[in-house]
Amino acid sequence: MSLPNYDKTFLMKLLEQMLLIRRFEEKSAQMYGLRKIGGFLHLYIGQEAVAVGSIAALDLKKDYVLTSYRDHGHALACGMHPNAAMAELFGKVTGCSKGKGGSMHFFDVENHMYGGNGIVGAHIPIAAGVALKIKYFDEDGVVLCYFGDGAIHQGVFHETLNMAKIWDLPIIFICENNHYGMGTNYKRVSSVHDYSIMGTSYNIPAWQVNGMDVITVYEETQKAIKMVKEENTPVLLEIQTYRYRGHSMSDPARYRTKEELEKYKSQDPITILRKKMADAGLLTDEEFKELDNKCKEIVNESVRFAEESEEPPLEAIYEDIYA
Amino acid sequence: MAVITFREAIRQAMDEEMARDERVILMGEEVGEYDGAYKVSQGLLDKYGEKRVIDTPITEAGFTGIGIGAAMAGLRPIVEWMTFNFSLLAYDQVVNNAAKMRHMSGGQLSVPIVFRGPNGPAEYLSSQHSQALQSIYAHAPGLIVVAPATPYDAKGLLKSSIRNDNPVLFLEAELMYSWKGEVPEEEYLIPLGKADIKREGKDITFITYSKPLRLVEQAAQQLADMGVDAEIVDLRTIKPLDEEAVYQSVRKTNRCVIVDETWPFASVATHIGWLISKNCFDYLDAPIEVVTSEDVPMPYNHTLELAVQPSVEKILDAAKKVLYI
């Protein structure tokens, strides 16, 4: 990775997106504590480099993104307005899904973000279906399909990889290995600990990627996209990452040690990029603070927007079920 | 008018819609090279090629999900399940993804897809291959459930289903594939959600759909010989239910028997029974009778398997009860 090859504007965009997600998630947790948000809330803190680095390699006019229920980061990286995201968490009619979906079901069809899905692994074949459409119409796009280490043992993951390969679908399966499927360490429930092996079973090129470094994620995703297009094959990436918070809000994460958490926090994706940019003379402390303040203000504004937005009317119960 | 089989009617509907709209594709196990497990898709691979007639591995959840994703993104897939029995492996995809995607996205997405294949008991297949599963599909909001009983209805309803922007479950039956009926040469559509009065009468209403229609018609004939004039309401679409057609008939005849080959508990039949007793209470001259399959898994033994399903005799018994004869 040679940082000086990238221009400052691009790097600042990556940094800003990661910061925005971090601040958005922190604020969401705070709003959850204030009971403005209910139900499940799966935070993306610690994993920001995965969504930001990989989605930066896309052209969302032709490419698509589908992910699991830990979907706030992907939606924001795809360009969803933070107001629409926060309003959805608040269950307001101005939310991206009009308050019908909540945290797990962020959709931004205009930006080709085809959802958050609440059933572990259930969106994996859906993503391949979107890729089938791309291939059917001879379009140029690819689909990024994100899921966690918990989803990789679901039947539909294996079914879909097989079909993606026999039909050569333009899709990149991204296993975000954040080490824990809910409270279970991935090594306890997997016969292999290197998930790229699972690609090999289906003759799909696969490799592991350091998901704490946004530039690495960006470059490896670019490499995967090139492979999809030039070699006409799906790709599987295991992007190794770490979530700082519990699985959802009710999880105190007692299944891991403080030391383990601290170890990963020392590889924080935002800190890494900040340091690299500073070392390359591309970022001053003042610039970082300014950017951070900007993100905090955007997030504060999203809370104001959500607070002031209307509840969905009762008659909305019967809307948006049938086309 | 041409007389064709139920199987040919379905094939014609798919063929015409594939010719009309390049977004329509057919996918499923054995639909291509094998010409369909029940030969419904015969010839379509030759005509449309493997890009549009896609043989899948035996992975119901996976290819059902891929069909749903393709529908969300702009195709209009027909997913053939070799039988509805195997659709249980894909139930999560249908109920959690196809049925809810529009709702969860706040109306941003639609899922124009048809899931079709044989449903309900055939013969000598025992428990896992002889099940009428419409009640569990009709149970989930966001789905349309269609169940024709004649080649004419099958063709017109399947064409409408393919053109519909919602997920449609289209129920056929193995034993119906060879049934014959008149189907016009010229194109026609039958709207979803509209029942059809298959026999007009004034003394008793039979409500049914799909394969049991024939049993009901035979029972109605025998009743006619006894001087009883039965009306037959063929629902054709289970959901949305044509409630008005049902109520109009019951309000006219004041007596009602519902015939449905599902299991009885929490079924299409019992739900309709509740609707009628709520909405036509003052018109009823007798309690509603329901003829369903017995609440048991299907036995292999032929005598037993016939005994657990609706029969002309059971329908007549029920009719006599509500007629007090």
Q: What angle do CA B262, B264, B267 make, to 5 degrees?
A: 70
Give me the mean pLDDT over the A42-57 stretch: 97
Which residue from A100, A65, A76, A93 is spatially nearest to A25, judged by alpha carbons? Answer: A76
* Lowest model confidence (mean pLDDT) among A235-249, B133-147, B226-240: A235-249
> How many Å apart are CA B32 and CA B30, to the nearest integer?
6
Considering only CB atoms, which chain A residues are within 8 Å of B56?
A: 163
* Strand-by-strand arrangement of the B256-259 sheet: B196-199, B230-234, B204-208, B256-259, B289-291
Q: Which two tokens stand for residue A277?
A: 């940019």
> How many Å apart are CA B152 and CA B142, to the nearest integer?
26
Shortest CA distance from B63: residue in chain A: A125
Considering only CB atoms, which chain A residues are within 8 Å of B241?
A: none
> How many Å apart are CA A62 and CA B128, to the nearest integer?
43
Q: Is A126 on the interface with B (CB under 8 A)?
A: yes
Taking the CA atoms of residue A151, residue A158, residue A186 and residue A203 in that order, the dihedral angle to the nearest 10 degrees is -130
Shortest CA distance from A107: residue in chain B: B105
pLDDT per residue as tens digits for the range A266-285: 899 999 999 999 999 999 99
Q: Determine whether the interchain pair B73/A97 forms a contact, defined as Cβ–Cβ distance below 8 Å.
A: no
How does residue A252 score in pLDDT terms, banded at 50, 70 and 90? confident
Residues B68, B93 contacting (CB under 8 angstroms): yes
Give me the mean pLDDT over the A89-110 stretch: 98
> How many Å apart are CA A154 and CA A286, to the nearest integer?
47
The mean predicted confidence, pLDDT, of chain B is: 98
Q: What is the pLDDT of residue A165?
A: 98
> How many Å apart are CA A38 and CA A250, to the nearest integer?
11
Q: Which of residues 256-275 of A touch B (CB under 8 A)?
A: none
Q: Which of residues 155-194 of A touch B (CB under 8 A)?
A: 155-156, 159-160, 162-163, 166-167
CA distance A109 to chain B (A): 6
Q: What is the pLDDT of residue A60?
A: 98
Mutation choice for B interface testing from A88, A163, A166, A309 by most B CBs within 10 A: A163
Portions of chain B given CATH number 3.40.50.970:
2-183
Q: What is the pLDDT of residue A2?
A: 58
Q: What is the pLDDT of residue A203?
A: 98
Give the list of residues 6+ apart from residue A112 with CB closer than 8 angstroms, or none.
A60, A61, A63, A64, A65, A78
Q: Can you tell me whether residue B108 is helix, strand or coil?
A: coil
Q: What is the pLDDT of residue B63?
A: 98
Q: Determine whether the interchain pair B103/A119 forms a contact, defined as Cβ–Cβ distance below 8 Å.
A: no
Residues B70, A133 contacting (CB under 8 angstroms): yes
Residues B142, B167 contacting (CB under 8 angstroms): yes
Interface predicted TM-score (ipTM): 0.95
Shortest CA distance from B164: residue in chain A: A323
pLDDT per residue as tens digits for the range B136-165: 999 999 999 999 999 999 999 999 999 999
Percentage of chain A modeled with pLDDT above 70 = 99
Residues A67, A123 contacting (CB under 8 angstroms): yes
- Share in percent of chain B as helix, strand, coil (round to 5): 40, 20, 40
Count of other CB atoms within 10 angstroms of residue A183: 13
Q: Determine whether the interchain pair B106/A95 forms a contact, defined as Cβ–Cβ distance below 8 Å.
A: yes
Residues B31, B41 contacting (CB under 8 angstroms): yes
Residue-wise DSSP of B230-268: EEEEE-SEEETT-HHHHHHHHHHHS-EEEE--S-STT-H
Residues A320, B101 contacting (CB under 8 angstroms): no
Give me the mean pLDDT over the A110-139 stretch: 98
pLDDT per residue as tens digits for the range B82-122: 999 999 999 999 999 999 999 999 999 999 999 999 999 99
Rg, Å, chain B Cα set: 19
Count of other CB atoms within 10 angstroms of residue B152: 20
CA distance A95 to chain B (A): 9
Q: What is the pLDDT of residue B176?
A: 97
> Nearest CB to B103: which of A126, A133, A321?
A321
> How many Å apart are CA B114 and CA B119, to the nearest integer?
14
CA distance B217 to chain A (A): 34
Give me the mean pLDDT over the B42-69 stretch: 98
What's the predicted TM-score (pTM) here? 0.96
Q: What is the pLDDT of residue A53?
A: 98
Residues B26, B55 contacting (CB under 8 angstroms): no
The CATH code belonging to domain A3-307 is 3.40.50.970
CA distance B232 to chain A (A): 29
Q: Determine whether the interchain pair B62/A160 forms a contact, defined as Cβ–Cβ distance below 8 Å.
A: yes
Shortest CA distance from A145: residue in chain B: B69
Q: Can you tell me whether residue A99 is helix, strand or coil?
A: coil
Residues A88, A99 contacting (CB under 8 angstroms): yes
> How many Å apart are CA B124 and CA B168, to the nearest integer?
29
> How many Å apart are CA B288 and CA B276, to the nearest integer?
8
CA distance B54 to chain A (A): 10
Task: Answer whether residue B281 shows pLDDT above 80.
Answer: yes
How does residue A250 score in pLDDT terms, banded at 50, 70 and 90? confident
> How many Å apart are CA B42 and CA A64, to the nearest integer?
35
Pick the CATH number of B2-183 from 3.40.50.300, 3.40.50.720, 3.40.50.970, 3.40.50.620: 3.40.50.970
The H or E element containing residue A207 is: strand A206-210
How does residue B31 score in pLDDT terms, banded at 50, 70 and 90? very high
Shortest CA distance from B64: residue in chain A: A125
Q: Determine whether the interchain pair B105/A64 forms a contact, defined as Cβ–Cβ distance below 8 Å.
A: no
Q: Which of residues 68-107 of A touch B (CB under 8 A)?
A: 95-101, 105, 107
Rounded to 5 degrees, what are φ and ψ at A64? -135, 155
The H or E element containing residue A177 is: strand A171-177
Which residue from A225, A222, A217, A207 is spatially nearest to A241, judged by alpha carbons? Answer: A217
Burial of B87: CB neighbours in 10 Å, binned 0-12, 13-18, 19+: buried
Tell me which residues of chain B have a C-beta less than 8 Å from any C-beta of chain A: 25, 51, 54, 56-57, 59, 61-75, 92-93, 96-97, 101-112, 141-142, 144, 165-166
Q: Which two tokens stand for residue B204?
A: 């008793």
DSSP B94: I
> How many Å apart are CA B106 and CA B108, to the nearest integer?
6
> Nearest CB to A128: which of B69, B97, B166?
B69
DSSP B166: S
For B196-323, which CATH class? alpha beta
Portions of chain B given CATH number 3.40.50.920:
196-323
Task: Answer whether residue A33 shows pLDDT above 90.
Answer: yes
Q: How many CB pairs under 8 A join A and B?
A: 143
Q: What is the pLDDT of residue A247?
A: 87
Which residue from A172, A124, A137 is spatially nearest to B64, judged by alpha carbons? Answer: A124
Rg, Å, chain A Cα set: 19
Task: Answer whether residue A4 shows pLDDT above 80.
Answer: no
> How many Å apart are CA B63 and CA B273, to the nearest integer?
36
Q: Determine whether the interchain pair B109/A96 forms a contact, defined as Cβ–Cβ distance below 8 Å.
A: no
Domain parsing of chain A, residue ranges: 3-307
Q: What is the rounded end-to-end Cα distance, in angstroms, of chain B?
A: 40
Task: State the catalytic residues of B.
Answer: 60, 129
